[in-house]
Structure 1
Amino acid sequence: MALKGYRFPISHAEAFPLGLVLVGQIEPLTKYNQDRNAAPEQRYDFDPKTGTGSGLLMWKATVTDPSETNSKRASFQLIFLADVQPVPSTPEVLPGMRQVELEGLQAEPRVMGQGEFKYQGFNFYAGGIKGDNSGAKVNQPAAAKAA
């Protein structure tokens, strides 16, 4: 299939018209390892079979879309692609919940569900959070160093 693994850019306002709520913390996305005693290894956005991907570290976050009418699809996992862990700059609206606006948002079409209950869904990838000054933004130019 020609579109497998294809990500297209989309604005935050188009994807999430009522905004997006970050639930909990942003954590490293780690590789699966059968050995439970092995140290966790963080995943990179790179597919060695196809040679595609940004090569950036992957971070995971659970988010909720208030505009989604189906409660089963309202909360999902969002992947951040950044060298440094993104840090939200907004205050908590409830304990552990913050409203965020994403930058560098990309969507990847996927078939989701099981058996006869399959549907068209999307995996979302973001480059950073608006207002974040941790250095996690992908499309941010490097600052010039003072002499």
Structure 2
Amino acid sequence: MAIEKGHRFAVAFDEAFPQGLVMVGEVSPDNEFQSREDKAAGRPVRQRVDESTGKRQWKFLATDLGETRAKRASFEVTLLADVQPVPSASEVMPGMRPVELEGLTAEPKVAGQGEYKYQSYVFRATGFKAADSAAAGKSSRSGSGSSAGAADGSKAA
């Protein structure tokens, strides 16, 4: 096989999300699973580290404005950075803000189960674009096209 499993393809934000992306809630650390035994022993919670870049992982819930299927419109996006990325856009509604991502990559994967499997993507980014470039990107978008998302931290095709 020419392309290894787990390969991350660089993708332009406007290609992946032509109608934009809304962050729901806040950015939080992507922590490793902690068992009951670990919690009972008082072991500290550890934040995940990306194997490819060595950067700490952060996550947030996103909604793709171009997705028409409700089950696939919202998904988690992973941010790879040493410090917690902060979106520069202000909230348009309580807990919701439009965002643009920089350093965006897509990793193909199969989602669903049984006969209902479909192609999806895991999205990772290095951070948020500045507010002035985000506003410029929105005015230049045509608004055509469609993207699909999945609630399992991926995005369907």
Query: Structure 2-normalised TM-score?
Result: 0.77
Separation in structure 2 between the aligned mates of residue 13 and residue 62 of structure 1, nearest angstrom: 18
Separation in structure 2 between the aligned mates of residue 61 and residue 39 of structure 1, nearest angstrom: 22
Divergent runs of 4+, >3 A: none
Question: What SS does the aligned partner of 2:87 have?
Answer: coil
Matched, 1:85 2:84: yes
Query: 1:116 maps to what in 2?
Result: 115
**1:8 offset after TM fit, Å?**
0.4
**Residue type of the partner of 2:30?**
L
Alignment length (residue pairs): 126
Question: What SS does the aligned partner of 1:93 have?
Answer: coil
Matched, 1:30 2:35: no
Separation in structure 1 between the aligned mates of residue 22 and residue 65 of structure 2, nearest angstrom: 8
Q: In structure 2, which of residues 43, 46, 63 is the aligned counterpart of residue 41 of structure 1?
A: 46
Separation in structure 2 between the aligned mates of residue 61 and residue 125 of structure 1, nearest angstrom: 11
Separation in structure 2 between the aligned mates of residue 93 and residue 69 of structure 1, nearest angstrom: 21
**Residue type of the partner of 2:58?**
W
Matched, 1:12 2:17: no
Question: What SS does the aligned partner of 2:107 have?
Answer: strand
**1:3 offset after TM fit, Å?**
3.1
Percentage identity across aligned positions? 53
Aligned-residue RMSD, C-alpha = 1.2
Query: Structure 1-normalised TM-score?
Result: 0.82
More relative contact order in 1 or in 2 (CA 8 Å, sep 6+)? 2
Unaligned runs of 5+ in 2: 132-157
Q: Which has the higher helix share?
A: 2
Separation in structure 1 between the aligned mates of residue 4 and residue 78 of structure 2, nearest angstrom: 19
Question: What SS does the aligned partner of 1:125 have?
Answer: strand
